A and B are shown apart, each in its own frame.
Chain A
Amino acid sequence: MTLINAKPNKTYIIIGFNGGPNLIQRLYSMGLYPGARIQIVSVAPLRGPLMVKNIDNGIQIALGRGIVSKIIVTEA
């Protein structure tokens, strides 16, 4: 499944990405990489961005929906 279908406040593990190498590199270097345990901690209204938190190190990243739908995850 992709992160867009994930439920808030539940832990997921990233298993891969559907995007181009530039996007993937950015996500890696910001702290979202395969194997990372993440949670959606907030969803902005009106189809706004999602706040994704790497629960291993506490990094929080705001991601637009287009990008969120490119992150493949599995339930932890």
Chain B
Amino acid sequence: MKRVALIGQPNCGKSALFNAIAGYKANSSHFPGTTVEILTSEVIYKDETFELVDLPGSYSLSPFDKAEEVNTLFILKENFDLIINVIDASILNRSLELTIEILDIGKPTIVVLNMMDEAKKKGIKIDIEKLSSILGVPVIPTIALYGEGVDNLLNNVIKILKNPRNAKPITLNSTIEAIVNKLSSYFKEREEKRFIAFKGIEWPELKNHIKIPREFFVEIERINEEIEKIYGKDIKEFIFSERHHLSMKIAEEVVKISHTIEKTMEEKIDKILYHPFWGYIIFLLSFILVLLLIFKIGGFLEEIFVYPFDILSAKFQTIKAAKIIKPFINGTLEGTMGAIGVIIPFMVPVIFFISLFEETGFLARSAFLFDSFMHKIGLHGKSIPPLIMGFGCNVPAISATRIIESERDRIITALLIPFIPCSARTIIISALVSKFLGVWWALFIYLISIVIAIIISLIASKLIKYPAPGLIMEIPGFKIPSMKNVLIKTWLQLKPFLFYAVPILILGSIFIEYFKLYGAESIINGILRPITYVLNLPSQTGFTLIFGFLRKELALLMLGQSLGVKITEITSVLTPLQILSFTIFTTLYVPCLATLLILKKEFNGKIATISLILNVTVALLVTTLIIQILKITGI
């Protein structure tokens, strides 16, 4: 199958374009570098099929962080037939620097001028035909968010896939051309030799990924000395500043600005959002408000959803069935009820609000607001967005740490993320603590997890001393969120839960019924008794902790089942203190299986093991400490 790669700078609307073409299978995001996993989709258009690859947003093909490396390595190592370079039309001069790099590759290329509406708002008019003739490739205007221009683009894609024409590089000044011609002779056997020669100069780590002869670097060193002597500039700077001037020149030739930018409503809101005082107040208030809303909405929905299951379950109690079948029926019913009646009501609001935070650009803003605080605990602002994403789900949050340039900061942040209560744990907190003990106790658990993360970060930064690098991060302007995008995002995250997690939850429930029948449960409970004992919990809860490792919310379902009551009537068997103990412990005790797997994939087995040991230890210590304090003080 033919392969088409989407490449563009962060926030150019590349994911929106991917969604418009691929039918909403990717996660469109507002925060620079969120699309860290490469998404692909098979596209069928007018009887033609091709694979579309959505590469992470990247300012340049000389990578600065892990996320950007993905692009350069994809270009060098993967096969593809066409590049679609997506450009934010409202900032043409900056975007063209990447385009010039892309044209160096010499593959068939299409340039997409996206966000034409934004450009129009800013009074920017672009001579598309002229741009196309300068770049030597087709230029297609689009507004991806509304699907405008997508048909035209796809027609061009099909046309070029049938009749490929390689792009021609744009020549820089004669000195650079002479250098790159000489250096590309080291890579004669490769089609993209010009691109490799440039990257070899601009990104020395390239040698870790492809074979480069030693003489190549000797040559660069010699040329560098010469350039420094004549121009007083490092060769790298000599090249990228030339590329910059060229793109400024091209932009100047094709852009007409009819009126100056007016202050929009969104800009005024933005001014308040990053205000050195109000910014924090708004941030903290909305955070607490969102949590309270989640508890309230979830609780309300739960009552509606659980009701029909109550009637059903009462009906089933009267059915007489063989001893071997009964656990199956009970388990299926309990599992389905738990998944649909308890988990979905709480899960939907959590994902919805996190998506809303992302869409408005609030998430990126938090990096700016909390940078100085993060420096105090040994990290910097870029760790904040992944940590906040962790409240939704720890797994993509750990992938999102790729935007952090320093490996040390990346590892520390990834170790902190499993302490952040994700939506699955929010379900447990909402359904148990918020419901039976009150919302303030629920907020208290969030506070505990944040304090733990701070303490661990402080300790880690003392252990591994390293000056935290300075913050450089683009903060996209505040946007009134598109409800369509927020809802699509919510659905995209809910979908895998429905198809993957619900069956696990039901299977788990059936298992536990059979385990009970054959007494296997009590053996595990016996082994885990030391833990449940220090946590002040009944021994039957030991078994549920095993399930919580698979999926955190499973611990909640199993809790009711092992104790033989419905979740909504848990207070008849557990004291408030026990409910608190169970919730705090399950919130902290182990990263779930999926989180451990992503830690292993993003880093290595050692980091995953450290994370596991760290969480179990901290969970045991903290829970016992809190329970003992509460016991003594008698609250």
Contact = CB atoms under 8 A, between A and B. Distances in A.
Given A25-B240, A28-B241, A29-B98, A62 B275 contact: no
A60 B368 CA distance: 11
Interface in A26-59: 26-31, 33, 41-49, 51, 57-59
Give me the 4 closest cross-chain CB pairs, A-B, nearest first: A64-B470, A48-B372, A64-B471, A66-B470
B316 interface: no
B472 A33 contact: no
B472 A63 contact: yes
Contacts of B237: 21, 24-25
Interface stretch (B388-396, B421-429, B473-481): B473-481
Most chain B Cβ neighbours within 10 Å, of A42, A62, A65, A66: A62
B97 interface: yes
Interface stretch (B59-67, B344-352, B598-606): B59-67
A25 B276 contact: no
Contacts of A51: 274, 368, 475
A22 interface: yes
A15 interface: no
B97 A67 contact: no
Contacts, number: 117
A62 B371 contact: yes
A6 interface: no
Interface in B319-366: none
Contacts of A33: 241, 244
A16 to B, nearest CB: 11
A61 interface: yes
A60 B91 contact: no
Interface residues of A, number: 32
A11 B92 CA distance: 22
Interface of A is mostly: mixed
A60 B277 CA distance: 19
A30 B470 contact: no
Contacts of B401: none
Interface string B89-103: 011011001100000
Nearest to B124: A57
Interface in B219-275: 234, 236-237, 240-241, 244, 261, 271, 274-275
A74 to B, nearest CB: 19
A60 B475 contact: yes
B368 A49 contact: yes
Contacts of B277: 45
A76 B590 CA distance: 56
B276 A26 contact: no
A48 B370 CA distance: 8
B381 A29 contact: no
5 contacts: A29-B240, A44-B371, A48-B368, A62-B371, A66-B470
B232 to A, nearest CB: 12
Given A21-B236, A64-B472, A29 B276 contact: no
Interface of A: 21-22, 24-31, 33, 41-49, 51, 57-67
B240 A49 contact: no
Given A25-B240, A67-B472, A62 B91 contact: no
Interface size classification for chain B? 35 or more
Given A28-B97, A49-B381, A62 B367 contact: yes
Contacts of B279: 42
Contact of B271 (A41, A63, A65): A41
Contacts of A46: 372-373
A31 B91 contact: yes
B369 A30 contact: no
B93 A42 contact: no
Most chain A Cβ neighbours within 10 Å, of B261, B274, B368: B368
Nearest to A60: B475
Interface string B453-480: 0000000000000000111111111000
Nearest to B371: A49
Interface string B473-504: 11111000000000000000000000000000
Nearest to A47: B372
Given A30-B94, A57-B93, A62 B471 contact: yes
A57 B371 contact: no
Given A49-B371, A59-B474, 15 more contacts: A22-B236, A24-B240, A25-B62, A25-B236, A26-B60, A28-B97, A44-B274, A44-B371, A48-B369, A48-B373, A57-B90, A57-B94, A58-B477, A62-B474, A62-B475
Contacts of B97: 28-29
Contacts of B566: none
Contacts of B60: 25-26, 29
B59 A29 contact: yes
Nearest to B98: A29
A59 B279 CA distance: 19
Contact of B472 (A27, A47, A48): A27
A31 B251 CA distance: 14
B3 interface: no
A25 B275 CA distance: 29
Nearest to B273: A42
Nearest to B470: A64
Nearest to A33: B244
Given A30-B59, A45-B372, A61-B475, A67 B91 contact: no
A61 B372 contact: no
Given A28-B240, A67-B471, A62 B94 contact: no
Given A31-B91, A42-B274, A49-B381, A61 B373 contact: no
Contacts of B552: none
Most chain B Cβ neighbours within 10 Å, of A24, A49, A51, A64: A49
